[in-house]
Structure 1
Amino acid sequence: MSRSSTSDEVEKEIGFDKQTSQNFNTEEHEDLAEAEQPAFVVHDDIEKSGGPADYDGASLANVQSEKPSVNNIKSVPNGGGIAWLQVLCSFFVFFNTWGIINAFGIYQEYYTKGILTSSSPSDISWIGSLEAFLLMIVGSIAGPIYDMGYVHELLGVGSVLIVLGQMMLSLCSNYWQVILAQGVSIGIGTGCIFVSGVAILSTYFSTKLATATGIAASGSSIGGMLYPIIFYKLQPTIGFAWATRVLAFVALFTLGISNLALRVRVIPSSRRKFLDLPAWKELPFLFFNLGSFFTFIGLYAPFFYIQSYVLDAGLMEPDLAFYLLAILNGASTFGRLIPNYIADRVGPFNVLTPCALMCAILQYCLISAHSSASVIVIIAFYGFFSGTLVSLPATCYVHLAGPTRRGLIGTWMGMGFAFVSLGILCGTPITGAILGVSSFKYVWVFGATFELVGSVFFVLSRLAQAKWRIWVKV
């Protein structure tokens, strides 16, 4: 047997894929791709024996790989300085993605009385909904690009679009201009960087993944709290244009840290598929996405409209009403940390499901909230429980895929985000249309009812994932 034929057979035996290696056109990408391959060593004795047919098989032995594998859970650091530095990077990614979207309530109120007074509440809501929709849908498209190794390219392009959109927003005076700057540019930018913040943590943490994700996801709460405060305090003194530019500089500084400090540990060795249609036949995955879809239709009604509600009802003075959004997002910080810490011990589904139900109950309670104290208490609790619905889904997708299908996590997450984005896109504009023809009572009824339907599907997903058992960690 010739030397070349022997080499080809060995390569075939150990699963070496030449076509796969062509997907990476830089040395860095090739190194990351090799990390995905099983770790074997080929002994020189194999050639001395005349080839694999004459050898006893001991020449192919599992050894400890010098490079980590995305499918090898034992190789995941699950802690350490570099790993927690990635949590900081992911924190600032959340800060400038969901944090910006959570802050849209301050713009919703300002636009109705400022530069977009001629636009209806529903029209204005489309700006924030489009922003959130593009975050999710572009994020699902960016997933395969992330898998190809272009992580820093995605982060850089997204950062530029966010800062550029914020700067252009400071020059806007018409509805279509705001749509392009805030809805499209910032929306696409957040979609480009969001996948990096989510995916990077699953390669650095295993048993501590929910805790790490919760800490990172708290950035969306901090951003949703700080961005409105900065805008509200600066706008009366320096005007809309410069207040908006200050927010752009904040985004530039925080995203600069993520661009400099983010480190890719490993990426899959082959391009991820956009679709894995058989996944929709699995009941846990199907029910989970239906639950997320219905929940997110109603989730953001308080974020967008609570300030307008208390002002129209005369329950608070403007200065106090403004802080409702800060209270909501501030409480959401703890809703990302405490439940995620518990989720590592009892399972993410066992935490997510009751939190979704509590959000529905609390939004129903807003119907009977006719005092400033009652509104503050409800909003604080709503912020806490809603924080879980934003931070835990990524961890749930990891559990849905399981340890044997970690290579499909990105695909499943992308499909789920794309589906859920439709709920985000239509949710708040519908509530704005309801408000245009009725009252806030029916806004809360609409939002709470969809959250209730979503929590039912979460229950079904949890039961299906646990093989219909109740007292198990899942």
Structure 2
Amino acid sequence: MSSSTLRPESEENKDRSTDMERGSASDYPPPSRSGNEGSREKTTQPQGEEGSAQPPKDGDEDDIPDGGYGWVIVGCLIAMNAVTWGINTTYGVFSSYYLSNNYFEGGSTLKYAWVGGLSVATCLLCGPLANAISRWLGFRTTMMFGTAFVVLGQCMAGLCRTYGEFLFCQGILFGTGLGFTLVPSQPLLAHWFKRRLALAQGIATSGSGLGGLILSNTTRLIIDRINVKWALIINGIISLVCLVPAIILLKGRHKAIGARQAPLELKWLWHPGFLWVWLWAAFTMMAYFIALYSLASFATSGLNLSQTQGAALQSILSAGQMIGRPIWGYFLDTGGRINLTMICYIICGISSLAIWLPAKSFGVLIFFALVQGMTGGTIWSAATPVVAKVVGVKDLASALSIFWLILVIPALVGQPIAIALLDYSVSHLGRSGAEAYYISIGFCGGMALFAAGLLYGAKRWLQGSWKVLQRT
């Protein structure tokens, strides 16, 4: 054993990526015919636990524990998702209040839609930068910076008096906090889970549904009982209380699996398998945000239901996310990650066209909200296991960096496109009520179905054939 093997390292240094190599576009391994998870090239060297007398070899994925402390990581990510994406879901409650009370002078439905999209787009845009800082300072330090931005963004939004100030705080500052907090955490579960990765990811991301379900109702209560300023400040304090201990408890196994954190490797844009994955994600993201932000509006403006019923639909959608993501995680692990993700979005697209489009009652919308919640946001839980399936765990962080970057524009323009189609239906086609939403709903369902078809390209690349029923 060499002396370098015995040299003690801090835990933070262990968490940093040690593999500085850059792969060229010609380094892609051939598609696997065996259906094995992750990386195509398997190592045969034995691997021990971190800190043992015989440390694991870099790049060996065979000793992933598939549990253990990984379940603590799952719990931490549930809490983090609840007070980041869950709180982001409450933006619909705030924007409804702003519009109803003309809170910011010159505010409009389209302007507020841009704020919601900008926060998500900024989050995704931070992917490469968050990876670069994680490589330099460690993932915990990067996530603590993100926590500060999340808290400041919400608290300062409560103090804003103009739309421009609000756009910066809620859209850019809060969005940067989301990116610095969530992007470094995405690959961590793949360090602890292999066979049950999709299930663990599904349970972890169900926290966003839990947070959305609870915080949407508490936010409405605080606005009614106190005011909108304190609703934002209190949500910021809740984020601080939950994020700090969760980040402290997080632990990675970067060195054990030889994980790389190259912040911006453009080769993934034309990787023959990953190309189909990011195309799927781009169309899925637009469909997701159209449904997420249009359902309550369709209920209140299209069917003349009450604001209370519209808010209830948003809560049911969040409940669907909380229930559906672990269920789909289990299915992805047992039936094949690519196969079941395709089925999920086929169901999502069909439900939009067959349930939402002809809906005329609150009861039908309740059913659709539940189905949409269980399927539409599956991209957030499926992204890590699907990408790991295609590129392997070692390159997961680098590929996800590009993955999130690609989704910036779809996340930013999804809801504004829906509003533009709605305006076109009203002003040019003379439609009103529920009929004014038909083009947006059709566009939403069509994109989900098209995205499912695109993912078949990744399935074909992985299995080396066009067989539909092969487990992939």
Structure 1 residue 347 corresponds to structure 2 residue 336: yes
Residue 67 (structure 2) aligned to one of 60, 63, 79: 79
Q: Secondary structure at the match of 1:264?
A: coil
Deviation at 1:321, TM superposition (A): 1.9
Residue 309 (structure 1) aligned to one of 298, 304, 313: 298
Structure 1 residue 161 corresponds to structure 2 residue 159: no
Residue identity over aligned pairs, in percent, reads: 22
Matching residue of 2:377: 387
Amino acid at match of 1:450: M
Matching residue of 2:469: 471
Deviation at 1:184, TM superposition (A): 0.8
Residue 455 (structure 2) aligned to one of 452, 455, 458: 458
Deviation at 1:472, TM superposition (A): 2.3
Q: Note the 1:50-449 alignment, pairs <5 A.
A: 64=48, 66=52, 67-68=55-56, 71-80=59-68, 82-114=69-101, 115-116=103-104, 118-148=106-136, 150-267=138-255, 272-364=261-353, 365-402=355-392, 406-438=393-425, 439-449=436-446
Distance 1:62 1:465, change over 3 A: closer
CA distance in 1, matches of 2:236, 2:16: 36
Between the two proteins, the alignment pairs up a number of residues equal to: 429
Query: Does 85-94 or 435-444 show the bigger shift?
Result: 435-444
Query: Does 341-350 or 64-73 show the bigger shift?
Result: 64-73
CA distance in 1, matches of 2:235, 2:222: 10
Deviation at 1:306, TM superposition (A): 1.5
CA distance in 2, matches of 1:330, 1:252: 24
Higher radius of gyration, 1 or 2: 1
Q: Would you say the 8 A contact 2:17–2:135 is kept in 1?
A: no
Distance 1:369 1:34, change over 3 A: closer
Deviation at 1:133, TM superposition (A): 0.7
What is the aligned-residue RMSD (CA, Å)?
A: 2.8
Amino acid at match of 2:322: T
Distance 1:63 1:224, change over 3 A: closer
Q: Would you say the 8 A contact 2:260–2:397 is kept in 1?
A: no
Distance 1:33 1:196, change over 3 A: closer
CA distance in 2, matches of 1:411, 1:291: 18
Q: Would you say the 8 A contact 1:68–1:76 is kept in 2?
A: no
Q: Secondary structure at the match of 1:75?
A: coil
Q: Secondary structure at the match of 1:189?
A: helix
Instruction: Provide Cα deviations, 1:82-111, integer angstroms capped at 9, x if missing partner.
Output: 221111111122223322333332233222
CA distance in 2, matches of 1:31, 1:163: 28
Q: Secondary structure at the match of 2:161?
A: coil
Query: Does 91-100 or 192-201 show the bigger shift?
Result: 91-100
Q: Would you say the 8 A contact 2:48–2:63 is kept in 1?
A: no
Q: Which has the higher helix share?
A: 1
CA distance in 2, matches of 1:62, 1:215: 31
Distance 1:285 1:63, change over 3 A: closer
Q: Would you say the 8 A contact 1:93–1:197 is kept in 2?
A: no
Structure 1: stretches of 5+ with no match in the other structure: 1-9, 38-60
Query: Does 98-107 or 195-204 show the bigger shift?
Result: 98-107
CA distance in 2, matches of 1:258, 1:33: 18
Deviation at 1:222, TM superposition (A): 1.1
TM-score after normalising by structure 2: 0.84
TM-score after normalising by structure 1: 0.83
Q: Would you say the 8 A contact 1:163–1:248 is kept in 2?
A: yes
CA distance in 2, matches of 1:270, 1:34: 6
Query: Does 265-274 or 284-293 show the bigger shift?
Result: 265-274
Q: Would you say the 8 A contact 1:121–1:433 is kept in 2?
A: no
Q: Would you say the 8 A contact 1:103–1:223 is kept in 2?
A: no
CA distance in 2, matches of 1:277, 1:377: 42
Amino acid at match of 2:415: T
CA distance in 2, matches of 1:149, 1:287: 33
CA distance in 2, matches of 1:467, 1:191: 35
CA distance in 2, matches of 1:180, 1:29: 32
Matching residue of 2:433: none
Structure 2: stretches of 5+ with no match in the other structure: 21-44, 426-435
Deviation at 1:344, TM superposition (A): 1.2
Deviation at 1:28, TM superposition (A): 4.3
Q: Would you say the 8 A contact 2:60–2:258 is kept in 1?
A: no
Q: Would you say the 8 A contact 2:98–2:104 is kept in 1?
A: yes
CA distance in 1, matches of 2:56, 2:244: 27
CA distance in 1, matches of 2:134, 2:57: 16
CA distance in 2, matches of 1:148, 1:200: 17
Deviation at 1:430, TM superposition (A): 1.5
Deviation at 1:315, TM superposition (A): 4.2
Distance 1:29 1:385, change over 3 A: closer
Distance 1:351 1:91, change over 3 A: same
CA distance in 2, matches of 1:374, 1:199: 38
Query: Does 315-324 or 420-429 show the bigger shift?
Result: 315-324
Deviation at 1:163, TM superposition (A): 0.8
